Amino acid sequence: MEIRNVAIIAHVDHGKTTLVDNLLKQAGAFRANQAVAERALDRNDLERERGITILAKSTAVEWKGVKINIVDTPGHADFGGEVERILSMVDGAIVLCDAAEGPLPQTKFVLTKALARGLRPIVVINKVDRQDARPDEVHNEVFDLFAALGATDEQLDFHTLFASGRQGWADLELEGARKDLSPMFDLILSHVPAPKVDLEKPFAMNASILESDNFLGRILTGRVEQGTARVNMPVRVLRQDGTVVESGRLTKLMTFSGLDRVPVEEVQAGDIIAIAGLSDATIPDTIASPEVTEPLPAIPVDPPTLAMTFRINDGPLGGREGKKVTSRQIRDRLFKETEGNVAIRVKVSEEVDAFEVAGRGELQLGVLIEQMRREGFELTIGRPRVLTRDNTETGEREEPFEEALIDVDEAYSGVVVEKMSQRKGQMQDMRPSGGGKVRLTFHIPSRGLIGYHGEFMTDTRGTGMMNRLFLGYFPWAGPIEGRRNGSLISNSDGEAIQYALFYLQERGTLFVDPGVKVYVGMILGEHSRDNDLDVNPIKEKKLTNIRAAGKDEALLLIPPRRMSLEQAIAYIEDDELVEVTPGAIRLRKRYLDPHERKKHARRSDSEAA
């Protein structure tokens, strides 16, 4: 059977997974009466809750006697490592672009990777049914982006489809019949080349996706680059330096059909397969017949730009809510994550019972922490920091910069420009984008954006949109002012009392409700001034034997400020930690004892001087 391998790539929320849903339905991958969840490929709980794709996934359909392997990829920049290695499995790419928003930073990122691989993408202008759609303008913007990224003449001569993934149609003409997705299938067959492979060579493939199954163990997915794979055939695993990691047999061989993996006895080069039976193979190892001595080339992945410290939970409430609390358990889990997530690096920290975890961004590391939390881990997390490097030629210290693309109402553009400049952002472009909105482009240090998103949404009354893309390493931009307000810190252990909190809310914004367990050194709220303040949240009203003539007035509390995990991580300062357990997210000082805090603060001040 003929094969086509194609990846669907786009900016986050431009409709990739919804489009794949309808491709599967119209190709007959589901029964007529089968109940299928929306965004069927987003099977992970976190993906469903957040409405984003985190892990790349393979699926396959048959169209006019040709098998089409379709790989759905994440759209968020933090999961770019998934996109990079998936492109090595395919011979074509469908680039989706929102008909209203146009090409955004992640569109630029994924397109750069696809063009560098020599692929000739098919452009799909999606969501043309939106009221604010501007498909012709967006089409021109996509062409300009191709040209700006150095596309060849062949790549510039791309095919374009106008589509609505949600309504399930695509057409070569904007005013076409709009019946179904058959024009997209036909274009894939005619435009995407069949894989160029050598069936005579011994079997070899690169592992591109690693999953774990309760019954089959480790499952590795990748494209067979050469030869033929058979069940129970002997293989060995080669690292990129040529060392042999293990030898074994392919106990299970599976191809994809719809949402399912289908066991097969034999697979030829060019197809995307999943294999089981190997215990040490990981990404991007080469799995090959014993006579193969050289590993297949693998795509280098961009290095991480952000790091956090993962520590054991050594607070007074540690071990009460989670089942996995030791440093050994945390270590094993983190190093297991690095096997399947090529964009994450882990090393043992100089601190006791702590690990340095580096990744692409706050969202990627936040997703890892949330997964561990749901698995029963207890952790304390330090403030994110960027990874700098020294330029070997100039000796200058360099830090990662990002391109921030901001769409905002004109009324809020002033405050955004002011805040971005405070964070060392340099404006590159400012242009109207229609409907009273302005599109701003900044180049800004990555550390300048840590913790800014929540502030940005407040400043723009929830109407602003900010997208970011890793730009590269540039000279250190100098100090950036951090949080201006201090913290309200508990000086007592117990449960927070409504009476005490009522009088504390005059001092700032509270983070806790009455009845919440508190301890010495726990952060209860944000002080209205720039200094930290120790307060007593368990103070009760003194009772007397004198009966009041009237009842006490009701103690009305302002609802506390609730923070998500990412917001809490971005909020803390260098001397603070986020305590993460299956039942709670708490903020605390690194040193709980007030005398210890003062001692370390004096030491830091003297070192700074």
CATH superfamily label, 487-608: bipa protein (2.40.50.250)
Q: Is 515 marked as a binding-site residue?
A: no
- Whether pTM > 0.95 for this model: the answer is no
- 599 has binding-site annotation: no
> Does 338 appear as a known binding residue?
no
160 known member of a binding site: no
| pLDDT for 86 | 78
- Residue 515 C-beta-side C-alpha neighbours within 13 Å: 0
Q: Show Cβ contacts of residue 1 under 8 Å, excluding neighbours closer than 6 positions.
A: 65, 66, 67
| pLDDT recorded at residue 355 | 94
pLDDT on residue 579: 95
Question: Domain map of the chain by residue range?
Answer: 2-191, 204-288, 389-475, 487-608
Give the separation between CA 272 and CA 426, rounded to whole angstroms.
Answer: 44
Task: State both tokens at 263.
Answer: 């066991």
Q: Would you say 18 is a known binding-site residue?
A: yes
Tokens 């550390």, located at residue: 447
Q: Are strands 244-249 and 266-268 parallel, antiparallel or unpaired?
A: unpaired
User: Residue 405 corresponds to which tokens in the numbers above?
Assistant: 């693309």
Range 389-475 has CATH code 3.30.1330.10 = no
Burial of 149 (0-12, 13-18, 19+ CB in 10 A): middle
69 among the known binding-site residues? no
CATH class of 2-191: alpha beta
Report the pLDDT value the prediction gives residue 310, as an integer from 0 to 100.
Answer: 94
64 annotated ligand-binding residue? no
pLDDT the model gives residue 45: 55
Question: Quick check: 275 and 249 in contact, CB under 8 A?
Answer: no
- Residue 15 among known ligand-binding residues: yes
pLDDT at position 338 is: 83
What pLDDT is stored for residue 309 in this prediction? Answer: 94
pLDDT attached to residue 544: 66
Q: What is the mean pLDDT of each run of 10 residues along the chain (609 residues)?
A: 86 73 75 42 47 61 89 65 75 90 82 86 90 90 90 91 88 85 91 88 87 78 90 90 88 84 89 87 87 84 84 91 92 86 84 89 84 92 90 88 88 91 91 83 90 81 81 88 85 92 92 93 92 91 62 74 86 91 93 89 72
Is 14 labeled as ligand-binding? yes
CATH no. for 204-288: 2.40.30.10
Residue 42 labelled as part of a binding site:
no
- Find, among 107, 17, 134, the residue nearest to 405 by Cα: 107
